[in-house]
Amino acid sequence: MTVAPAPPALAAAQLAPAAGPDGAVIEVHDGTRWVPVLPYADLVPGRGVAVLLGAEQVALFRDRAGHLHAVGNRDPFSGAQVISRGLLGSRGATPVVASPMYKQVFDLSTGTCLDEPTAPDGTPARLPVWRVRTTTSGT
């Protein structure tokens, strides 16, 4: 059996309006500037991808409506960098991702865990959230 290697983290990574014209690029704000991450067309609806924003791993998602979400990739319950492999869904009108480790569900707009208020280490159970947008210029 041949196993394909895992894709490398992409160098560079809230809710963005549905957009996706030919040539659109996804950008994430690092707190100082907008950083181009990858072409919008390369992010499959309903799936996530891990990207690097500086030294931080970010889970980037495109939901089936075309909205973009960027949250921390580290699961606060397991410590593993796995949120980008989580399952997208909703609780009512709230877009969520379920961690693939212990299945806690996180609000993609706020990063808050909807199942438990604190992580095992006693810190608030939440993921950092980044602003994300699409642009046709890539700058």
Q: What is the pLDDT of residues 63-76, one digit of tens each?
A: 988 899 999 999 99
Residue 135, pLDDT above cutoff 50: yes
pLDDT digits (tens, 9 = 90+) for 109-128: 999 999 999 999 999 999 99
% of residues, the chain, pLDDT over 90: 77
Say which residues have a Cβ less than 8 Å from residue 107's Cβ, sequence separation at least 6: 94, 95, 96, 113, 114
**With contact defined as beta carbons under 8 Å apart, do 128 and 111 qualify?**
yes
Closest by CA position to 43, among listed 32, 27, 56: 27
**Considering the entire predicted model, what is its pTM?**
0.82
